[in-house]
Amino acid sequence: MTNGKEILAIFGFETKEEPVSIYPYSPVYRVKYGDKDVVVKRTQKRAENVMSYTNMLKNKGVNVVTPVKLHVDNPQNFEGTNFVVYPFIEGTKYSGQENEIYEAGKMLGHIHSLSPNTNAYDLLNYDVYDFNKQEVEESMEAIIQHAHKAGIEIDSTLKTKLLESVAVQQELNGAGLPHVATPHDFKANNLVLTPEPYLIDPDNATWIPRIFDLALVLLLFHNEHEKAPNRVFTVDEWKQFLLGYKEYSALTDQEKHFWDKAKQHVFLDEVMWLMAEYEEDWQNPAQQKLFNSLIQIVIDSADYRLI
């Protein structure tokens, strides 16, 4: 059980009662620091590397949170887990408007354009290319059971597509795709509109193939967000996102060639476990609709291009 009071205390924040997280899936505490609100949250093991990278982004004009200057070190380690204090960013939530999607694309394009050519910040290096047939079989069994309890029948083509992804993952690994340093996990619930997008969770920063980062946006941008549509982007919305993205970043012919395989691989890596692990999500009408939308896109995503 996370001890929020002790976590806050390492930064010099005192509270009489156990703080309540403002995020349901991990400890995120909003507290007062002087006359300002700040957020105390978990960050990754390579905390200093992430902070160096995000400070660079901020210095180059990207709206991204960076550690608040305190009288103690920030970030700090608590019982083997790193925590960081960021400013609390005021603003409105994403609601799926065309201009919001365009601005989000522009922001990610800007971020990608600032990446060094090598992993100069020594961020986590993406290397998940070891899925096997058994993992797909077990996950599909769980997904089918969860869906059945929710009164949904899963198209058997999904399993075929996931097994295809297992077969081509080494081809992707050996393709020499352009990599970028990126906050990763770039989705609506990690953005606040001020009115321009402001990135409030850069803590999954990774060195990863650029099109994997884009595929994650396509698949999960609307995940876990109460004001976003209960579906993936429409084709037109995806075009809007790319229109903004391409103001800063240009994609290669090689990336366009591997795009379909990249979409399926990221589904295998990021979406399959989401559907298999969380049975309660299948009972949530909003998440259920998103899952149905995700299944349709992995079965046929030909219209979602990188042109």
What is the location of CATH 3.30.200 in the chain?
Answer: 4-87
Q: What is the pLDDT of residue 224?
A: 86
Please, what are the averages of pLDDT over each run of 10 residues along the chain (307 residues)? 84 88 86 93 94 98 96 92 96 96 98 98 97 96 94 92 96 97 96 95 97 98 92 97 98 97 96 92 92 93 91
Q: What is the pLDDT of residue 26?
A: 84
d(CA 58, CA 66): 8
Q: What is the pLDDT of residue 307?
A: 76
Domain 4-87 indexed as CATH 3.30.420: no
| Residues 252, 246 contacting (CB under 8 angstroms) | no
| Residues 133, 169 contacting (CB under 8 angstroms) | no
Cα dihedral across residues 13, 14, 18, 20: positive or negative = negative
Task: Name the pTM for this structure.
Answer: 0.94
**CATH superfamily placement of domain 98-299:** Aminoglycoside phosphotransferase (APH), C-terminal lobe (3.90.1200.10)
Q: By C-alpha distance, which of 157, 161, 191, 168 is closest to 65?
A: 191
Q: What is the pLDDT of residue 22?
A: 86
What is the location of CATH 3.90.1200.10 in the chain?
Answer: 98-299
